[in-house]
Amino acid sequence: MQLTRPDLARVLERSLAARPVADVGWLAAPPPRARVLRERMDLEPGASLTSTADALFGWAVHRGAGLTIAPTGPVDVGVTVVQAVHVGPLWFTAPCRVVDVVRETDEAGFTYATLPHHPETGVESFRVRRAGEGLVFEIHAVARHDFWGSRAVPPAAHRVQDRVTRGYLDAARELSRAARPGTR
């Protein structure tokens, strides 16, 4: 947490050697006191799974949610990303590592796990799936408060997490509009 915009390149460099502090298994079996978040939203009718997935893998959903990000590359297993969110006068950085990637005919997405110095300890999964004639965007997150401030005031931490999640959903909807054939 800091009052000035963080130097994401420096935070990224510091995070490269770090190991995730949560396991992808948390999605199936959340640990005690973890907050489980599941969101699902229908995407724009006629959206292309390939184009929507390409936007997701290029971090467009995260940028569209209003996060400032510094990834080591497009989404792939082992890629490290540092995200920064501005809350009132404060900036928070959130380093993560991609631990799982799915790219199949009817589903595409990834999961990342938090690294040390993230305000939460947990994992978050982002998926685009075919559902009937359309596509859905799904977010599944499991996290515990790691930062003293979020442990002291959990409702405030939940509001920030909910705001970012709503941003992901809104960005995915907008990107799916752009991913319709004939809209490029």
CATH code (residue 13): 3.30.530.20
> What predicted TM-score, i.e. pTM, was given to this entire model?
0.92
For residue 44, how many C-alpha atoms fall within 13 Å in the half-sphere facing its CB?
A: 19
* 118 located within any domain: yes
Answer yes or no: is 76 within a domain: yes
Establish if 184 belongs to a structural domain.
Answer: no
In a domain, 80, yes or no: yes
pLDDT tens-digit profile, the chain (184 residues): 677 788 999 999 999 999 999 999 999 999 998 999 999 999 988 899 999 999 999 999 999 999 999 999 999 999 999 999 888 888 889 999 999 999 999 999 999 999 998 989 999 999 999 998 899 999 999 999 876 666 676 677 788 888 999 999 999 999 888 866 665 4
Structural domain of 87: 8-178
49 within some domain: yes
Q: How many domains does the chain have?
A: 1
Amino acid at position 36, single letter: V
Report d(CA 99, CA 178) in Å as an integer. 28
